[in-house]
């Protein structure tokens, strides 16, 4: 204990270099923990986005691409699929529910999702949780819209407010406004931590209504309102829930061999696994980089300790003269290094959470990634323990040099 106090006082004496060394360690710890947190929770967060959906069907492309645009609203579909195909497949025996999805429009940067009321009935996220309304209810009219929690919060909408949807994905003013056909907010969903929060949901008829005559100057909303032309012609993708998982492979084959048009049916969980397999190389690269940064921080610690050693020959000699043994002096040097590492780790934990606190809204907004604050898990503690051990071992090197010096110098040091 005495030793640690002495080490602490000694560090205070050289506080600027000590602080900088500690900061270097803290940054490397924050990076290491950040990468680990990203790795663990990105997976969790993505896996939470879709639950209980057995199959997702879209135009034939890659399974990962279909997963990304249909579930995560990342990227765009290569092709639409016909409404007739959807109706036919949704009516196949063994299909319990089907949710059509029509993408391609936006509202002030948020994606518009055309769907049916089945979406609110059957869609599940996280651990089989269903969507809940924090206000209002599902859309009924063609010009009703249901907002995700974040859309409502960020844009300040409440039930009954009117909003204007944009054709295409551009920001307002760049793409064509459908200002002739304002939508009314019928309901707002409770937060889910998934891309649903960032979506505006309207009926499929609503999507058709946006597109009817949208390039013509003369408008006649009443015509569109009453017209049976609002029957959808094409959708982007659909989700299927089945009566039994045992039917899934057979149904997948049936859909993939569908004669009317080229379709692709994927298992979202399997496609997600494929995506992780693709990303594994990147994850490992990040992990290696963060480990190297930690190694660099440790080398920095060693450099600072060794550099200080020379300036501290007198300090060592005085300690020896007042009765400190060689072991004491060595212990002092090791304690300093251990203390610096320990403080660096604590500061790194704080730093990582602070950075996350600032970045969290942006991460959720841009990538749908919900990375929780808090202390790391067992694996990270083990890594940090390893780092602390390295910190102590690094302290042994200046301790050994200090011992050698004090042998050579004795009390005869002349500075």
Partner 1 sequence: MFKRSSLISLAIICSTAAIAQQSAHVHGFASINLAIDDEELEIEFVSPAESIVGFEYEPSNAAERKAVADAIALLRDPAKLFVLPASAGCELNEVEAEQHAEDEHGEHDEHDDEHAHEDSDAGESHSEFHAHYHFECKNTAIETIDLRLFETWPRIAEVRVQALTPRGQTGGNIDASDPVIRLQ
Residue 221, burial from CB neighbour count under 10 angstroms (0-12, 13-18, 19+): middle
The single residue among 171, 176, 223, 270 that binds partner 1, judged by CB under 8 A, is 270
Contacts of 73 (CB under 8 A, 6+ apart): 103, 111, 113, 195, 198, 199
The single residue among 13, 44, 273, 284 that binds partner 1, judged by CB under 8 A, is 273
**Coil, strand or helix at 301:** helix
- With beta carbons less than 8 A apart as the criterion, state whether 111 and 81 touch: no
Closest CB to partner 1 among residues 85, 102: 85
Closest CB to partner 1 among residues 124, 313: 124
The single residue among 34, 114, 206, 268 that binds partner 1, judged by CB under 8 A, is 268
Told to check if 109 binds partner 1 by CB under 8 A, we report no
- With beta carbons less than 8 A apart as the criterion, state whether 166 and 214 touch: no
Q: How far is the CB of 244 from partner 1 (least distance, A)?
A: 5
DSSP H helical ranges for 242-377: 248-256, 268-311, 313-321, 326-367
- With beta carbons less than 8 A apart as the criterion, state whether 69 and 146 touch: no
Q: How far is the CB of 126 from partner 1 (least distance, A)?
A: 11
User: Dihedral sign, CA of 26, 29, 34, 37?
Assistant: negative
Q: How far is the CB of 262 from partner 1 (least distance, A)?
A: 12
Token pair for residue 33? 């923990």
- Per-position x/- string for 391-410, each x denoting binding to partner 1 as judged by CB under 8 A, each - no binding: --------------------
In whole angstroms, give the CA distance from residue 179 to residue 158.
Answer: 19
Q: How far is CA 189 from CA 32, 201, 203, 236, in A?
A: 36, 10, 15, 22
Segment interacting with partner 1 (CB under 8 A) among 18-26, 267-275, 315-323, 359-367? 267-275
- With beta carbons less than 8 A apart as the criterion, state whether 92 and 285 touch: no
Closest CB to partner 1 among residues 230, 237: 237
Q: How far is the CB of 121 from partner 1 (least distance, A)?
A: 21
The single residue among 54, 105, 144, 208 that binds partner 1, judged by CB under 8 A, is 54
- Per-position x/- string for 227-256, each x denoting binding to partner 1 as judged by CB under 8 A, each - no binding: ----------------xxxxxxxx-xx--x
Closest CB to partner 1 among residues 246, 415: 246
Told to check if 68 binds partner 1 by CB under 8 A, we report no
Residues that bind partner 1 (CB under 8 A): 47, 51, 54, 93-94, 243-250, 252-253, 256-257, 267-270, 272-274, 277
């Amino acid at each position: 204990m005495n030793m640690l106090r002495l080490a602490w006082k000694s560090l205070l004496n050289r506080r600027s270099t000590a602080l900088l060394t500690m900061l270097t360690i803290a940054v490397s710890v924050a990076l290491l923990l950040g990468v680990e947190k990203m790795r663990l929770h990105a997976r969790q967060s993505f896996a939470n986005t879709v639950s209980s959906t057995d199959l997702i069907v879209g135009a034939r492309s890659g399974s990962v691409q279909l997963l990304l645009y249909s579930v995560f609203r990342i990227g765009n579909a290569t092709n639409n699929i016909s409404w007739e195909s959807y109706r036919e497949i949704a009516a196949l025996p063994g299909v319990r529910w089907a949710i059509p999805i029509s993408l391609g429009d936006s509202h002030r940067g948020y994606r518009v999702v055309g769907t049916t009321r089945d979406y609110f009935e059957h869609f599940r996220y996280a651990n089989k949780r269903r969507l809940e309304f924090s206000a209002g209810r599902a859309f009924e009219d063609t010009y009703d819209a249901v907002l995700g929690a974040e859309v409502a919060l960020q844009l300040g909408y409440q039930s009954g407010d009117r909003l204007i949807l944009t054709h295409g994905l551009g920001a307002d003013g760049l793409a064509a406004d459908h200002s002739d056909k304002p939508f009314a907010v019928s309901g707002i969903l409770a937060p889910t931590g998934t891309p649903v929060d960032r979506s505006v949901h309207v009926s499929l008829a609503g999507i058709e209504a946006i597109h009817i005559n949208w390039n013509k100057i003369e408008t006649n909303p009443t015509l569109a309102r009453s017209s049976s032309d609002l029957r959808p012609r094409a959708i982007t993708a659909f989700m299927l829930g089945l009566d039994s998982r045992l039917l899934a492979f057979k149904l997948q084959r049936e859909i993939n061999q569908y004669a009317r048009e080229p379709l692709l049916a994927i298992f979202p969980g399997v496609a997600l696994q494929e995506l992780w397999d693709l990303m594994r190389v990147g994850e490992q690269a990040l992990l290696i980089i963060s480990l190297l940064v930690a190694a660099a921080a440790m080398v920095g610690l060693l450099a600072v300790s060794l550099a200080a050693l020379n300036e501290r020959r007198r300090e060592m000699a005085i300690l020896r003269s007042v009765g400190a043994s060689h072991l004491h002096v060595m212990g002092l040097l090791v304690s300093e290094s251990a203390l610096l590492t320990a403080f660096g780790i604590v500061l790194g934990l704080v730093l990582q959470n602070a950075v996350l606190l600032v970045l969290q809204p942006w991460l959720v907004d841009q990538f749908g990634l919900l990375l929780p604050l808090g202390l790391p898990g067992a694996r990270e503690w083990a890594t940090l323990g390893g780092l602390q051990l390295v910190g102590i071992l690094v302290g042994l090197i200046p301790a050994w040099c200090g011992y050698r010096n004090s042998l050579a110098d004795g009390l005869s040091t002349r500075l």
